[in-house]
Structure 1
Amino acid sequence: MRAVWCGFALGVVWLQQQAALPGWALLLGLSAGVCASIVVARLCFLRGAAWSSRAGWLAVLVAAACVGFAYAGWRAQTRLVFELPREWEGRDIVVSGWIKGLPTRSADGVRFLFSVEAADAPVERFPRTLQLSWIADDAPPPMLEPGSRWRLSVRLKRPHGNANWGVRDAEAVLLARDVRATGYVNLPLLAVQLQGKAGGIGVIVDGWRSAIRDRIAAVLADAPHMGIVVALAIGAQDAVSAVDWQLMRRTGTSHLVAISGLHIGFVAGLAGWLAGWLWRRSCFIGRNWPLLVPVQKVSMASGALFAAVHAALAGFNVPAQRTLWMAGIVALGYLGGRRVAPSVVLAWALGLVLLADPWAVVSAGFWLSFCAVGAILFGMSGHARVAQNPPPDAREDEGERVFARRCAEALRAQGGALIGRVRSGARVQFAVTIALAPLTVCFFSQIPLIGPVANAFAIPWVSVFVTPAVIAGVALPAPFDALAFRLAHQLLECLTAGLKLLSGPSWTLWPLPQPDAWALASAAVGVVWCLAPAGWPLRWAAPLTWLPLLAPASAAPAEGAFRLTALDIGQGSSIVVETAHHTLLFDAGPGPESTHAGERIVVPYLQAAGIGVLDSLIISHADSDHSGGAPAVLEGVEVRQLLAGLPPTNLLWQTASAKGAQTVRCAAGQRWQWDGVDFAILWPDPGPLQGKPNAHGCVLRISTASGLHAQTQVQPHAKERKPVVALLAADIEAPVERTLLTRDRAALRAQILLVPHHGSKTSSTEPFLDSIGPSIAVFQVGYRNRFHHPYAGVYERYKARGIELSRSDDDGAARIEAGDAMLSLERYRQTHRHYWVDR
């Protein structure tokens, strides 16, 4: 079964990488492949030879992979047929249904899933699940209880997420949750709560989870670690503070925030022991239950049952599912009188998780959970401890010497057992650390160097003390539950104090760029090589396979060239400019007042690209869609200089100075050169800023310095190459465009243009556009944004000139390579397309 489930998982993973779902021709080919593989496997097994048996299992693996690919494709097709037609986006639709899952409340309102029962739109396959926001405008939204039925007027759009290199795919997450449309409650005053509630075990469990969350909130109120207590109780992480998240990411203990497999396994074991203890003592109530059913079977079944309850409270996340299936398979095997190998148990859990949810493979939790358990099993396979009884002493005498010798032997035995447990625990920690390091770099672009030390005390502290206290609070009635929740919070205070001491020095976190597929595969080979049983040849050479991961080759542009990446941040602007040895960020996108793009997209992209230092952060002007993410950038990476078109009273000046950045007002005439690339500020003029923020936005010109490398000597008859120029125009409008035209038209000539003011009708005048003469123009606009950018007439103006266009709402992030007589444009959604995009 290991080969079957592993092959099935490979097929599911293969499907999730496809740009399009398989057609009938491919499905017929897969069917033929399955039949052929089964025939080959049968013939190989009949031969009986060792090599033939291996070939047979390989054929089984191939057949299972084909089945997994087809199954995942079928599940995807049945889910994608439910969609919102484009013509119904942005229109008022009245829907009736019920609240699904736990609503997430914040100061801005409440976000929730809505299961649709009826809609007034004549759509054949209307989305079954919506993700809605109820915005708190004049009045706060009502308390939305899981299962409560409502009739709401909503405005919807198709599932759409920001698409960037190194940033989580939001559309894949929506598909995994079966969300086929998102939107907001348009007319809150017309919302009507209907009679009755939805039924089903899921609604009942969600009601329990909601009640537990309310109890914890009532006890801990504004306590700093209340969110962690809620996460450990019901698996909901939305209330965990940003400070706690940052601390746990730096120390590699983020896995402890959720109800992980470790917590469920520990609590299930504790529940099984308690059930067995009570079962043994049934004689005190006049029963002889152990004579009917052995205590071991009762303990095993009770532990598995409690694991199921605890996993339900966790919302059945992937680690919880994995632990539940493993506990259930072990319990079934034990009750049936069979001992199942741990690797078989893990393989069954892998297959059952993917049968239930083929999209689990797009989440980091899936890979971290299964790889951690697999590493433990593989790493400990060659280190089994064999207990040996000491040989009887033939010279055993009576008296005090014998007693003393027996005491000494008992102490040595206990000491040896303790040392053995410490060694075993250290070996487990080593295996998990080594196995998860490549995945940590892949998903989070960092390795917490103090992770093993932090987890050495954080895991037992949370598992043995904090989690039982939280479970006790859930189980106990008032007022005793308050004591348990406060105790759990005090224990978390002690834990975070210790983690802060460990994470103080900057060297404790090793930032690394997100690896490519080859570097990750090489590191995976090194993990298997390093954790192989004793006697494996050349184990000392295993760390060499990690070099592509830990010391990647530089991906920076060549000397005299630059790379411009216009991020997809929704409605706003943020552009990363890289030269051979320097990096500049032009604007930082929206902040907490809108989409949190600074911390959600800009900083993760910089970290994934291996950019830990910004030589300059340019904030063009004070509008929040350009400056709102700057505090998150200043907090997330080192910024050496802030160059901005901000008024003196703006708080960003103080924030940047507190972070050690040099602060300079941007003004026309400022020039510098990095690595053979020229930079110049064309606007605003020196002196006090006047007018609205758009009128004094910084305009940056970037040039490849006549297309010649700075170190290259020009030959007498060499033909001078034309420079490649980019113009980042911020949000300037027609008056500023006219002013720039009257000064120096030649300075405006550029092949690359960041379209002014997102393509609004107040900018991109025809004389300005003709003077620039761009080959490539980039529109940074949000999907179906409320400003209706870009303006249709302006967009047609660009198209009429034959300019190659990129829109972030259609193409995602855009990357432009500009170098020695070279200019190329890459659109993220084209080169990293998946079958769920634009569906």
Structure 2
Amino acid sequence: MRAVWCGFALGVIWLQRQAALPDTGGWWTLILAGCAAAGIAVWSLRDHGAGGSLQRRRGLRHQPARRIWRDGRVRRAAGWGAVWCAAICVGFGYAAVRAQTRLAVSLPHAWEGRDIEVVGSIKGLPTRDDKGARFLFDVDTNDARLAAFPRVIQLTWIARDAAMPRLAPGERWRLTVRLKRPHGNANFGLRDTEASLLARNVRATGYVSVPDHARRLAGHARGLAVLVDRWRAALRARIDTVLADAPHRGIVVALAIGAQDEVSPADRQLMRGTGTSHLVAISGLHIGLVAGLTGWLAAAIWRRSGWLGRNWPLRLPAQIVGVTAGAGFAALHAALAGFNVPAQRALWMAALVALAFVGGRQLARSTVLAWALGLVLLIDPWAVVSAGFWLSFCAVGAILFAMSGRPRGRGPQASRHDEDEERSAARNRWQALRAALIRSLYVFAERLRSAAHVQYAVTVALAPLTVYWFAQIPLVGPLANAFAIPWVSLLLTPAVLAGVALPAPLDAFAWRAAHTLLEGLVAGLQMFSGPRWTLWWLPRPHGWALAAAALGVLWCLAPRGWPLRWAAPLTWLPLLMPSADGALSEPSGAFRLTALDVGQGTSVLVQTAHHALLFDAGAGPESTHAGERVVVPFLQAQGVKTLDTLMISHADSDHAGGAPAVLDAIEVRQLVGGLEPDNALWPTARQHGAQTLPCVAGQRWQWDGVEFTVLWPDAGGLTGKPNAHCCVLRVSTSAGIVAGDAATRGGANAPRLTALLTADIEAPTERTLLARDRDLLRAQVLVVPHHGSRTSSTEPFLDSIDPSIALFQVGYENRFHHPNAGVFARYVARRIALGRSDRDGAVRVDVDPGARGEDGAVLTLERYRDTQRRYWMEP
């Protein structure tokens, strides 16, 4: 069954990497391939089971032994290969059927942005903050009378002047909402939000448009899931009452019910920087430890039932009671965690071990892990798109693999003569105590060595995955975890669970004790964190680099005696190389422009061979948190550790709001902005060690054969609205005047290639720039002014620029209706290659004067949703 479940998992993973679901021809190919593989497997393995065919054994008796062995080996290998192929086909087909069923229900385009009255119940735990609440809503009826209306929608209830009601799981409501199809920001190297929405079966998102018309209905939704969610909500309310404004209350909530939305940003950053984020939630480690302790305690009480005048062990062995109690508590703890993937993995493993023990069977640990893998994916085929799935299963797999070749310590061995001497010496009390102490120290040393080996195996195995998912390796992670894991597992988690189990007011003592322990944990972790070098940022690796690193992990954790184990770290070198997404194809004279998908806002990264400039940083906490959610992770995933210049075009929040997050996370050498002198960004930048400089027309510099020129605003005081004094930046190659490789490639006739970044300028500014120098505006790449609003992109301005590529940075179904239909038609009429963040995601343009095509220099345009397409993305 290990091969079957592992092949099934590979099939599921393969489906999640597809750009489209199989059509009729694909289904027939899949079915025929699966049937053929199953037939080959049955034919190849039918005589290789235990006790094989007597007739076959007699027929092979007179053949040479070498030939029999060789034929049997080849046939068996072919059979197991066919088993894998058949299981892969089954997994692929199963995941495809689930995907087709789920994608069949979606909000029609015609109903996006329209008021719809829905009746249903709140699903799961609502997420709360100062601005309102976000929650899942299970829809029963809708006034749009749509038969295929989404069953589950994700809503935001914005807190306004009136007090917002407290939302509880299972409550029934009548709400007026405005919805849109599931859509997320799509950027190179970042997680796919739409995949996570699909995994939760969320087929529409939106907000409560008329809060005054919201009505709480009588009754509650029913079901086991609702009861669990109401229990979790009640526990969160009790913790909030006890700890109130305690600084680490969010971590206590996370350890009690698995909800991490209330963890403070400071605590989240500390855990992430020390590699201990996995301890903030109910993980498989916690469930396993607590289930083990529960099983041991239940078995111990059962064995001592004689003290109560009962002989329970005579009726049912204490071992069965302990294993069953441990599995039951694992189920209870997993329910508290909301059945996340690590919790499911631990639950299935505990349940399988319990069933095998009760049935009198013994399962190999790898078989238990394979069954847990298959069951998790059988329930949720989209679990593979989450980091928790890979980190959880790979950590357990690494532990099993690393410990498989280690002999168990059996203690100090002694000869019979030594045993006689020890027996005689044991008459002396102190010598007996000394011998017992030596044995205890030896056992402790063996356990400490085993724990260190486990920590080493997990650290080595998860390092490549940590780089892939988080673009970082906490160098202090092993030391921090060596301190934090025992602290959390043996002290903090039991205190939190005691608060869960105890009634009020006794629970308050347990939770206050847990918070006191948390203060000690945070103080200890702060000793490990500090300098930037403790967190090693690396670009997100490609598949081949990750595969090489995985091979190195297996090589490094192989049993003692494996050849050339010292060479295993060499396979990790590709992780240190710049990714193809972040590297330029030419060393000098070329640049790459990436217009990020930050929703309604602007953020453009310009990279030369050795420098980087970020033009605007998207929205901040006042809106979509794009600076923290998108811009900073994107820079880290691309390996951009330092920004030579951060240019903030003007003070509008959708351009400047994300700048503080960038300054906090990335080293910025210089801030250039079209900002008022009293803007808070100036002192913030200086506190982070950045030089500050107003944005003024005429500023010019050169990096790696690429010229940067500021065209607007003029020197002097900034007057009028912010859009009137936006920074306008011109980026161009040096057209053969650059020494070195760029001049060699292009020569004196190399064309000048230009990109124009215009921020939110409007028609008056466009006319002023036209009156100064039309030739200076000519550009092949244009970041469209003011998101394509009707107050910009005038006909003369576009005629003077004459772009080949135009990029619109707009939010999906944004309330400003950008881009304006008439303005967009102007670009379409000129047959300009267009990129829109709401349809295409992030758009990348490589500008290289040395790459020569049939029509001269080549501009390479790459749209994220084209090159990284998945079947859940709309065409």
TM-score range, shorter chain: over 0.9
The reply on whether 1:98 has 2:124 as its aligned counterpart is no
Unaligned runs of 5+ in 1: none
Q: Displacement, 1:436?
A: 0.1
The reply on whether 1:542 has 2:568 as its aligned counterpart is yes
CA contact (8 A) 1:707 1:724 kept: no
In structure 1, what is the equivalent of residue 612 of structure 2?
583
CA contact (8 A) 1:707 1:819 kept: no
CA contact (8 A) 2:788 2:824 kept: yes
Matches for 1:319-398 after TM superposition, within 5 Å: 319-387=342-410, 390-393=414-417, 396=421, 398=424
Q: Displacement, 1:416?
A: 1.6
Comparing 118-127 and 65-74, the one that deviates more? 118-127
CA contact (8 A) 1:557 1:563 kept: no
In structure 1, what is the equivalent of residue 262 of structure 2?
239
Matches for 1:215-614 after TM superposition, within 5 Å: 215-387=238-410, 390-393=414-417, 396=421, 398=424, 405-552=431-578, 555-558=583-586, 559-614=588-643
CA contact (8 A) 2:425 2:431 kept: no
**Partners of 2:299 and 2:531 in 1: CA distance:** 47
DSSP-derived class of the 1:281 partner: helix
**Partners of 2:128 and 2:491 in 1: CA distance:** 29
Q: Displacement, 1:710?
A: 3.0
Give me the identity figure in percent: 65
DSSP-derived class of the 2:416 partner: coil
Deviation string 1:457-492 (CA, Å, 9 cap, x unpaired) is: 101100000000000011111111111111111111
Comparing 52-61 and 827-836, the one that deviates more? 52-61
CA contact (8 A) 2:705 2:742 kept: no
Amino acid at match of 1:828: Y
Deviation string 1:699-727 (CA, Å, 9 cap, x unpaired) is: 00001011554325969996512200000
Q: Displacement, 1:205?
A: 0.3
Amino acid at match of 1:610: G
In structure 2, what is the equivalent of residue 637 of structure 1?
666
Name the CA shift for 1:688/1:476 in 2 (closer, same or farther; >3 Å): same
The reply on whether 1:822 has 2:848 as its aligned counterpart is no
Deviation string 1:47-70 (CA, Å, 9 cap, x unpaired) is: 542343232222111110100000
DSSP-derived class of the 2:338 partner: coil
Name the CA shift for 1:712/1:170 in 2 (closer, same or farther; >3 Å): closer
Amino acid at match of 1:540: W
In structure 2, what is the equivalent of residue 767 of structure 1?
796
Name the CA shift for 1:580/1:815 in 2 (closer, same or farther; >3 Å): same
Name the CA shift for 1:262/1:773 in 2 (closer, same or farther; >3 Å): same
Q: Displacement, 1:137?
A: 1.5
CA contact (8 A) 2:734 2:752 kept: yes
Comparing 39-48 and 174-183, the one that deviates more? 39-48
The reply on whether 1:126 has 2:149 as its aligned counterpart is yes
**Partners of 1:140 and 1:830 in 2: CA distance:** 45
**Partners of 2:22 and 2:244 in 1: CA distance:** 51
Name the CA shift for 1:3/1:399 in 2 (closer, same or farther; >3 Å): closer
Question: CA RMSD, aligned part only?
Answer: 1.6
**Partners of 1:398 and 1:160 in 2: CA distance:** 79
DSSP-derived class of the 1:565 partner: strand
Amino acid at match of 1:279: W
**Partners of 2:826 and 2:656 in 1: CA distance:** 29
In structure 1, what is the equivalent of residue 750 of structure 2?
721
CA contact (8 A) 1:272 1:298 kept: yes
* Count of residue pairs the alignment pairs up: 839
CA contact (8 A) 1:560 1:708 kept: no
Matches for 1:79-98 after TM superposition, within 5 Å: 79-98=102-121
Deviation string 1:344-379 (CA, Å, 9 cap, x unpaired) is: 000000000000000000000000000000000000
**Partners of 2:426 and 2:686 in 1: CA distance:** 76
**Partners of 2:665 and 2:9 in 1: CA distance:** 36
Comparing 218-227 and 44-53, the one that deviates more? 44-53
Matches for 1:91-170 after TM superposition, within 5 Å: 91-170=114-193
Deviation string 1:234-292 (CA, Å, 9 cap, x unpaired) is: 00000011111111111000000110001111111121122112212222333211100
DSSP-derived class of the 1:689 partner: coil
**Partners of 1:825 and 1:14 in 2: CA distance:** 27
In structure 2, what is the equivalent of residue 32 of structure 1?
32
Q: Displacement, 1:824?
A: 1.1
Q: Displacement, 1:135?
A: 0.8
**Partners of 1:716 and 1:590 in 2: CA distance:** 40
Amino acid at match of 1:291: L
**Partners of 1:442 and 1:475 in 2: CA distance:** 39
In structure 1, what is the equivalent of residue 872 of structure 2?
836
The reply on whether 1:802 has 2:831 as its aligned counterpart is yes
CA contact (8 A) 1:781 1:789 kept: yes
Comparing 829-838 and 409-418, the one that deviates more? 409-418
Deviation string 1:685-744 (CA, Å, 9 cap, x unpaired) is: 001000000000000000101155432596999651220000000100011111111111
DSSP-derived class of the 2:417 partner: coil
Name the CA shift for 1:684/1:282 in 2 (closer, same or farther; >3 Å): same
Deviation string 1:57-109 (CA, Å, 9 cap, x unpaired) is: 22111110100000000001111111100001111111111000001111111
Name the CA shift for 1:262/1:718 in 2 (closer, same or farther; >3 Å): closer
Name the CA shift for 1:794/1:6 in 2 (closer, same or farther; >3 Å): same
CA contact (8 A) 2:153 2:202 kept: yes
Comparing 403-412 and 127-136, the one that deviates more? 403-412
DSSP-derived class of the 1:259 partner: coil
**Partners of 2:563 and 2:453 in 1: CA distance:** 20
Residue number among 766, 774, 779 corresponding to 1:737 in the alignment:
766
Q: Displacement, 1:145?
A: 1.0
CA contact (8 A) 1:513 1:608 kept: yes
**Partners of 1:52 and 1:421 in 2: CA distance:** 44
Amino acid at match of 2:628: E
Amino acid at match of 1:465: L
Amino acid at match of 2:81: L
Normalising by the residue count of structure 2, what TM-score does the alignment of the two structures yield? Answer: 0.94
Unaligned runs of 5+ in 2: 49-71, 850-856
Name the CA shift for 1:823/1:214 in 2 (closer, same or farther; >3 Å): same
**Partners of 1:146 and 1:778 in 2: CA distance:** 43
Comparing 394-403 and 774-783, the one that deviates more? 394-403
Amino acid at match of 2:27: L
Deviation string 1:109-162 (CA, Å, 9 cap, x unpaired) is: 111100011111132211000000111122132111110111111110000000
The reply on whether 1:54 has 2:83 as its aligned counterpart is no
**Partners of 1:141 and 1:460 in 2: CA distance:** 41
**Partners of 1:451 and 1:329 in 2: CA distance:** 32
**Partners of 2:219 and 2:746 in 1: CA distance:** 87
In structure 2, what is the equivalent of residue 172 of structure 1?
195
Q: Displacement, 1:408?
A: 3.8
